[in-house]
Amino acid sequence: MSSFEFFSDAGRFLRGNLHTHTTRSDGALPVEAVIAAYRDAGYDFLAITDHFLARYEWPVTDTRGFRDQRFTTLIGAELHAPRTALSPLWHIVAVGLPLDFAPATEDEDGPALARRAREAGAFIGIAHPAWYSLSLEDAETIDAAHAVEIYNHGCQLMHDKGDGAYLLDGLSDKGRRLLTYACDDAHFKAPDFAGGWVEVKAAHNEPDAILDALKAGRFYSSQGPRIHDIAVTDSVVEVACLPAMGVVVVGEGYLMSYRFGTGLTRATLPLEPLAVSPWLRVVVIGGDGRRAWSNPIWKDQL
């Protein structure tokens, strides 16, 4: 199945955040208050991803006790190891880790640590690339990555560097097939909560089903707008969404197709402008400027 056909699968979308901090590292709120915030805001699941560093005693925060019929949790951490061209440490999100994931060793660099986390079962995300000026060359070395963060709300709010599209699209242009997700990276020291999330189509609101859906790309990302369906033919992309002021389809380099209007709920965009692009992805723009993003769609998988 192509990664976007999940829209018509049975079941409903589950809303979740994949990148969150608590007082187990440098967040302002304890685990129970963080869980309560997402639960009360209507989220279906949460991954707490405290900084996996010696100074915080290598936290893989155990949230299993907060799972119930309506809300569940994935076990995760934000992994750090030397180094990128411009930063002494990598920032790598790992969701679906075992609770006994061993501390990083002195000779383990970012790519090696990410590989070990993926081998342990985790979904691997390249976190907030713009925030630390992560280059395409650096990112290519994370061969274990499943995804790039296309939007990090905390990094946008406090640093004006929340965007990851440059890196996702650059890697796609190099032929690398990655997924993409939005998150808030909330630390609860500023209004950084609930500014970006994922909508996952999973059969059950259970950790394993969600993790499988993440790895298979059965999700989209949002700051608010909803995507109901995406269909791609030889000549057009059809998008059904909650009323939007624009639908944009981007592809290789600066190739794109767009439609703007008032209260769009359905848009048909010609693919001809993207004829030579091997991939495309859909962005829905709400009337308030907030966006929703599909995963990249590769034409040879249609």
- Token match 């709300």: residue? 153
64: left (phi over 0), alpha (psi -120 to 50) or beta: alpha
Alpha-carbon dihedral sign for residues 265, 271, 273, 274: positive
Phi and psi angles of residue 163, each rounded to the nearest 5 degrees, phi first: -90, 140
Q: How far is the CB of 110 from Zn ion (least distance, A)?
A: 12
Please name which of 125, 116, 70, 115 lies closest in space to residue 93, comparing C-alpha atoms.
125
Q: Which letter, b or e, does each residue of 127-160 get, where b requires 16 or more Cβ atoms within 10 Å of its Cβ?
A: bbbbbbebeeebbeebebbbbbbbbbbbbbebee
Q: Which is nearer to Zn ion, 130 or 230 (CB)?
A: 130
For residue 62 the two structure tokens come to 């155990």
Please name which of 235, 274, 283, 237 lies closest in space to residue 254, comparing C-alpha atoms.
274
DSSP string, 249-297: EEESTT-EEEEEEEEEEEEEEESGGGTT-SEEEEEEE-TTS-EEEPPPE
Please name which of 1, 2, 74, 13 lies closest in space to residue 221, comparing C-alpha atoms.
13
Distance of CA 195 to the CA centre of its chain: 13
Q: Which is nearer to Zn ion, 46 or 230 (CB)?
A: 46
Q: How far is the CB of 155 from Zn ion (least distance, A)?
A: 8
Distance CA 300, CA 279 (A): 8
Q: How far is the CB of 49 from Zn ion (least distance, A)?
A: 6
Q: Which is nearer to Zn ion, 78 or 169 (CB)?
A: 78
- Closest-by-Cβ residue to Zn ion is 91
Q: What is the DSSP letter of 186?
A: B
Q: Which is nearer to Zn ion, 163 or 227 (CB)?
A: 163
Structural contact between residues 153 and 183, judged by C-beta atoms closer than 8 angstroms: yes
Q: Which is nearer to Zn ion, 15 or 91 (CB)?
A: 91
Q: Which is nearer to Zn ion, 6 or 193 (CB)?
A: 193
Q: Which is nearer to Zn ion, 83 or 204 (CB)?
A: 83
Q: How far is the CB of 178 from Zn ion (least distance, A)?
A: 18
Q: Which is nearer to Zn ion, 91 or 153 (CB)?
A: 91
- Interacting residues toward Zn ion by CB under 5 A: 78, 91, 127, 185
Q: How far is the CB of 240 from Zn ion (least distance, A)?
A: 33
Q: How far is the CB of 80 from Zn ion (least distance, A)?
A: 8
Q: How far is the CB of 106 from Zn ion (least distance, A)?
A: 21
Q: How far is the CB of 39 from Zn ion (least distance, A)?
A: 20
